[in-house]
């Protein structure tokens, strides 16, 4: 199919509509591009070829992109090796302090009060009693020095410790055959991961960075760190965990980013 020329207008730049479509579907396109389906940078021609759509028809383009993205989820899930470890690094390579990111500026971080903080449990969990900082600190700790990769195109090596998520799910009697583990955060953020990733050896509920209690910007008192997923799949300031078979989505997942988001 060819790209329909937008009607010439003195007030609209050439291809204005097409550029707007590229712009408004950026997350989906970046996501598909990252997976190597698109080689090189994306042009309108490539988008037309990929979708087979008239690129001025936004809903058609979007629906094809969403289909490709959910196909990606299924392929990635299929290829995921539950016991394969992601690379680990030496202490000398650890970046201190870690690199901050959230959907708002570091100056707008609203610290969580550890004295009143509670972790709520919901869904397919036998023991739904909530946890406070003191009780949480009685859990066994493990440490991973792993790379954090953000979709925005930066990364750093970090040293995280906390309780292994599989162990925690076992302690609370979660249904380990359920499909999803979902997280709610104090700042309104949310996220969810597949059970295989939740049970992966390098997935932890982190309470420390470089052997010190995590500081406010990085998720005090509790955040997820998984070695096999992109940065946005690591919710900070967790206040609730739910085990469920109902697709939970998440803050960025609901805004077009690929849900599986494996590294
Ligand atoms: N609660 C919460 N968690 C979050 C985010 C957020 O905005 N809110 N941003 C995510 C993104 S996009 C990234 S890259 C990492 C950044 O973690 P860091 O600040 O420890 O490097 O946190 C993730 N977890
Ligand atoms: Mo990110």
C-beta of 259 in contact with ligand 1 (< 6 A): no
Phi, psi for 209 (deg, rounded to 5): -125, 130
Give CA angle at 155 (168, 77), nearest 5°.
50
Work out which ligand 1 atom sits closest to the CA atom of 156.
21
Say what the pLDDT of residue 61 is.
79
Tell how strand 142-150 and strand 120-123 pair up.
unpaired
Q: Which of 29-33, 142-146, 202-206 has the lowest average pLDDT?
A: 29-33
pLDDT, tens digit, 9 for 90 and up, residues 67-108: 888 888 888 888 899 989 999 999 999 999 999 999 999 999
d(CA 139, CA 167): 9
Domain boundaries, the chain: 8-79, 91-255
Least confident span in 42-46, 143-147, 166-170: 42-46
**Predicted TM-score of the model (pTM):** 0.85
β-pair type (190-194, 212-213): unpaired
Q: What is the mean pLDDT of the chain?
A: 88
Q: Report pLDDT digits (tens) over 99-118.
A: 999 999 999 999 999 999 99
Instruction: Tally helices (H) and strands (E) across the chain.
Output: 7, 9
Atom 17 (ligand 1): residue with closest C-alpha?
A: 101
| Residue 123 pLDDT grade (very low, low, confident, very high; cuts 50, 70, 90) | very high
pLDDT grade, residue 29 (50/70/90)? confident
CA–CA separation, 34 and 69 (whole Å) = 11
147 lines ligand 1 (CB under 6 A): no
Q: Which of 186, 231, 261 to mutate for ligand 1's pocket (most ligand atoms within 8 Å of CB)?
A: 231
Cβ of residue 234 lying under 6 Å from some atom of ligand 1:
yes
CATH class for the region spanning 91-255: alpha beta
99 lines ligand 1 (CB under 6 A): yes
Check: CB of residue 190 under 8 Å from CB of residue 82.
Answer: no
226 Cα: distance to centroid of ligand 2 (angstroms): 13
97 preceded by cis ω (within 30°)? yes
pLDDT confidence of 9, banded at 50, 70, 90? very low
Rounded to an integer, what distance in angstroms lies between the CA atom of residue 90 and that of residue 173? Answer: 34
């Amino acid at each position: 199919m060819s790209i329909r020329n937008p009607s010439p207008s003195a007030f609209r730049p050439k291809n204005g509509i097409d550029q707007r479509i590229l712009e408004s579907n950026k997350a989906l396109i970046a996501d598909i591009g990252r997976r190597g389906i698109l080689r090189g940078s994306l042009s309108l021609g490539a988008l037309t070829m990929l979708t087979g759509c008239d690129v001025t028809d936004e809903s058609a383009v979007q629906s094809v992109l969403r289909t490709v993205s959910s196909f990606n989820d299924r392929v990635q899930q299929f290829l995921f090796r539950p016991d394969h470890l992601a690379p680990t690094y030496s202490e000398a390579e650890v970046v201190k302090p870690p690199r901050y990111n959230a959907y708002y500026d570091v100056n707008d971080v609203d610290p969580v009060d550890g004295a009143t903080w509670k972790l709520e449990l919901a869904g397919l969990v036998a023991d739904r009693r909530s946890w406070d900082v003191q009780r949480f600190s009685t859990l066994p700790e493990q440490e991973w020095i792993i790379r954090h990769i953000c979709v925005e195109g930066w990364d750093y090596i970090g040293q995280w410790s906390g309780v292994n998520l599989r162990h925690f799910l076992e302690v609370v009697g979660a249904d380990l055959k359920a499909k999803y583990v979902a997280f709610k955060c104090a700042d309104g953020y949310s996220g969810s991961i597949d059970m295989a990733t939740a049970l992966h050896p390098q997935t932890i509920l982190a309470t420390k960075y470089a052997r010190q209690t995590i500081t406010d910007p990085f998720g005090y008192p509790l955040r997820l760190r998984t070695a096999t997923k992109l940065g946005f799949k690591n919710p900070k300031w967790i206040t609730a965990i739910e085990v469920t078979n109902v697709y939970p989505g998440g803050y960025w997942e609901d805004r077009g980013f690929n849900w599986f988001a494996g590294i």
